[in-house]
Amino acid sequence: MNCFEERRLTSSGLRSTVLGFGAMELRGASHRVPRLLEDGVAKLLLNTVLDEGIRFIDTSIDYGESEELIGRHIGHRRSEYLLASKVGCPLDHQPGGPSNGPLVHNYSPANIRAGIEQSLSRLRTDYLDLAQVHIGPSVAVLQRDDVLATLERARDEGKVRAIGISSTLPELLDHIDLGVFETFQIPYSALDRSLENCLPHINTTGAGVIVRGGTARAARANRTADSRHASSADLAVDDLLDGDNLQGFLLRFVMTRAEVSTVIVGTASPEHVRENAKAAARGGLSEDVYAEAQRRLDIAGFRTSDPRNKTF
């Protein structure tokens, strides 16, 4: 088992390993974006996650069979990990249908309460450590549908321990300014640094930062060229890898930011879990390597930006 740094996730005392597991790859063959995974592989994968010392698992109703597989295969190990899911998702999503376009989410009190109950049942647990509002609705929608009051009631009932949101621009800044969320799940990587300047702002609120896409070949990277297939050579960081592969280097780049509570990485491969764990156990990059990596990323076109001037 690897020994990872633990970081503060919430001001109320929840702490997470700096490496987390994103369970979207467990969505199954009937999902609108199918991902076939044999049941035996899912069992091995999830137990490998825990055996490697990863203590944060992120899932969602939107991720097809993911919640059910987590409950089935590691529900008996519930005390070993923090469990985060999402609210506002359509319930009992039917298989098939078009794979393009977002799912329509419903943030009504009734749907949120029903979603929490469905997640608890599928995950075979009595509580979620973290309930996250999915797809970052506007503040107007949050207020119209009494989303926070509904989640606070669930927290008072012991069904959730903390309340967060999965967000990005343009709504993220308004979500931060509300001052009510205990965590923010955001896209951030060396290849997509558009939210880098938001990290200190989130930190001042006392909220934790959950990074998604931390090792992705960011399709929307802040660069004119298509970076979805970027390599270490493209980034001119070969001499900085120090034994890491590119994914390990990108993971450690994100971990270097002290504001980041955990980086969730998804995979369907137990071997990739072990590789990620090995890289994360090394900790963040040294100060000089991180500074040099930032300098080279700027030159390569993977720059930060002023988020208040950024729209998608």
In a domain, 248, yes or no: no
In a domain, 279, yes or no: no
The pLDDT value recorded for residue 25 is 92
CB 65 within 8 A of CB 116: no
pLDDT tens across 87-103, in order?
Answer: 999 987 554 455 566 78
Q: What integer best gives the mean pLDDT of the chain?
A: 90
In a domain, 68, yes or no: yes
In a domain, 284, yes or no: no
Q: pLDDT band at 145, cuts 50/70/90?
A: very high
In a domain, 156, yes or no: yes
CA–CA gap between residue 44 and residue 39 (Å, rounded): 9
pLDDT: is 222 or 266 the higher one? Answer: 266
The pLDDT value recorded for residue 227 is 46
CA–CA gap between residue 169 and residue 220 (Å, rounded): 12
The pLDDT value recorded for residue 103 is 80
Number of folded domains that form the chain: 1
In a domain, 282, yes or no: no
pLDDT tens across 242-252, in order?
Answer: 999 999 999 99
The pLDDT value recorded for residue 3 is 83
In a domain, 163, yes or no: yes
The answer on pLDDT for 253 being more than 60 is yes
Sign of CA dihedral 83, 87, 90, 92: positive
Distances in Å between the alpha carbon of 61 and those of 67, 83, 92, 229, 306?
Answer: 7, 13, 8, 30, 33
The pLDDT value recorded for residue 1 is 77
Q: Which domain holds residue 90?
A: 6-214+260-273
CB 284 within 8 A of CB 256: yes
CATH number of domain containing 106? 3.20.20.100
The answer on pLDDT for 235 being more than 80 is no
pLDDT tens across 255-294, in order?
Answer: 999 999 999 999 999 999 999 999 999 999 999 999 999 9
Q: What tokens appear for 157 in the block? A: 């009932």
pTM: 0.91
In a domain, 61, yes or no: yes
**Token pair 């030159």 in the structure block, residue:** 299
The pLDDT value recorded for residue 223 is 43
CA–CA gap between residue 230 and residue 191 (Å, rounded): 9
pLDDT tens across 147-199, in order?
Answer: 999 999 999 999 999 999 999 999 999 999 999 999 999 999 999 999 999 99
The answer on pLDDT for 241 being more than 80 is yes
Q: Which residues contact 286 (CB under 8 A, 6 or more apart)?
A: none
The pLDDT value recorded for residue 302 is 82
CB atoms within 10 A of CB 121: 12
CA–CA gap between residue 232 and residue 293 (Å, rounded): 11
